[in-house]
Structures are given as structure tokens and as C-alpha cells.
Amino acid sequence: MLKAGVIGHPISHSKSPLIHGHWLELYGINGEYKTYDIAPENLERGINDLIADGLKGFNVTLPHKQNIMTLCDSLSDEARAIGAVNTVTITESGGLYGHNTDAFGFSQNLLETIPDFYWSEKIVTVIGAGGAARAVLYALQKNNCPEIRITNRTRESAEKIGLPYDAKIYDWDKRHESCQNAHLIINTTSLGMAGQPELEMNLSGMTNNAVVYDIVYNPLETNLLKQAHQKGAGCVTGIGMLLHQARPGFRGWFGVYPEVTENLRNILLKK
């Protein structure tokens, strides 16, 4: 039996078993995907146990996404640039290959919703400067977006994000201005998520035909997206990013490149 899973601490909230379990059943694969609760102080030992247990690999979630990097024998360009690993493949010899699929998930979700999105002509505003923002910025850079703006509550975090191009930084109290003439506006913060404060953002300056992308998926239509919808903008929800980022891992461990379907989307949203 092919085995994979997800490590984190805590881990019970993870949606990954639902996603991979659905695909294993759909494609009739003799495999399993389990959660592994590993405390930070036990990370190395916990991973050695997974290797000994014959796992093909695993997803990585909080709080291990950075610490796991030092235990990897090799890293993909994405993982290195983003500074975090969310997908690990265990090689034949028991080595760890660390990868980050969040940028892929971000782009695939956008292209699935807006297939003719033409990156290289876009002024893009990124709200937030945490881990998710790093993955988004990597994708924007890869797709040659000509102008990138970042606005974040803590300006220093935006300054330290350290990507190799000039992104213009807007102070948090000037964040509304960062949307002026923007073609794509992305919320990478947890604001607007159930239980979190709302994201207060005035979208009135964005271009006609702009696209607003919220990586939050609970609720699926955040207030930011409601506002965007009212203004006639294209709207991209966060659920597809979660689903698409899971695909490369599944292919690596189980040998089938899985599809993101409406059915799977609905299963996830009902949970």
C-alpha cells in the first residue's frame, strides 16, 4: 500500500485528509493518507519514523513549514524562494525533497476562474506580507507582472519580504490608495475569515474589469469579494488554491495527477 500524510501541530483541523482521501477513492488507488501530530521538539524523530514506516512523502503545515527546510536533502526553486516547504517527497534512499506548491495553487486557481488572465499587463496589489504573501509574490514574479504593490499592517514585514524586484510598499493607513488603477487585488491575510476581523478595503479606485482574489475560503464569499462583486469585478475565492496546491504532492506519492472537480469543492465546503 502507498502511504502519505500531513504533519503539523495541531493537525486535527487539516482539510488535506479529506482531499487526498477523496482522490484515493476516486482513482481506485490502494493507498492511505493520514494525519501525524508532531510537536516541534520531535520534528526530526517524527520524520525518521515516517521514513521507517515507508511513507512516500507528506504535506507540511504549521508550525513546521520553515523548520523542515533544514532537514531536507534538496529543495525546489519555489521552496527556496518562498522560504517554506509544504510538500515533501521521500526518495528511494530515504532522502527528503522539499517543495512548495502554494504558488502553483494560487496561479492555477486564478487561471481556472479567469482563463484569459494576461499576467504581463497587470498592476497587482498584494494585501499582507506573511507566508501566503511570499507564495503569491513568487507566482506574480514568475508570471512577469510588471507592477507589484504590497500593503501590510506592519511595514517592516513588507520591507523584509526580500523578493528580487521593486515592489512598492504602501503603509497600512494608505492601503486604499494601493488599489488605485490596480487590475488584480489579492488578500493574503486572514482578515475576513470566520472569527477574524473584517478587511476594510476601499476598492473604488481599481480598474474596470479588475479581478479581486481572496485566499480566505471560510466564508467562501468574504466581504471583500461581496464588495468586488457589487463593483462588477471578477472574483476568485480561496477554495481552489487549497485544492490545486494539493495536486503535485498526490501525483508524486500516488502516481496519478488528480483533477479538481465541482464535486470535491462541494465536499470540502460542506465540512
Nearest residue (CB) to ligand ATR, 133 versus 233 = 133
Catalytic entry in 65, 122, 168, 231: 65
Query: Per CB under 6 A, does 192 bind ligand ATR?
Result: no
Q: Which stretch binds ligand ATR (CB under 6 A): 40-48, 95-103, 128-136, 233-241?
A: 128-136
Strands (E), 28-122: 31-37, 57-60, 74-75, 87-90, 96-99
Residue with cell 487549497: 242
Closest CA to 106 of 262, 259, 215: 215
Site membership for ligand ATR, residue 66 (CB under 6 A):
no
Q: Which of 251, 178, 252, 250 is nearest to 18 (CA)?
A: 250
Confirm or reject binding of residue 132 to ligand ATR (CB under 6 A): yes
Report if residue 98 touches ligand ATR, rule: CB under 6 A. Answer: no
Residue 190 is a binding residue for ligand ATR (CB under 6 A)? yes
The three-class DSSP label of residue 118 is coil
Under rule CB under 6 A, residue 224 binds ligand ATR: no
Q: Smallest gap, in angstroms, from Cβ of residue 84 to ligand ATR? A: 8
Confirm whether 65 is a catalytic residue: yes
Omega cis (within 30) before 63: yes
- Which residue sits closest to ligand ATR, CB atoms considered? 130
Beta carbons within 10 angstroms of residue 197's beta carbon? 10
Site for ligand ATR in 137-166 (CB under 6 A): 152-154, 157
The size of the interface with ligand ATR (CB under 6 A), counted in residues, is 15
Question: DSSP secondary structure string, 164-211?
Answer: SS-PEEE-GGGGGGGGTT-SEEEE-SSTTSTTS-------TTSPTT-E
Q: Which chain residues interact with ligand ATR by CB under 6 A?
A: 128-133, 152-154, 157, 188-191, 197
Question: Catalytic site residues?
Answer: 65
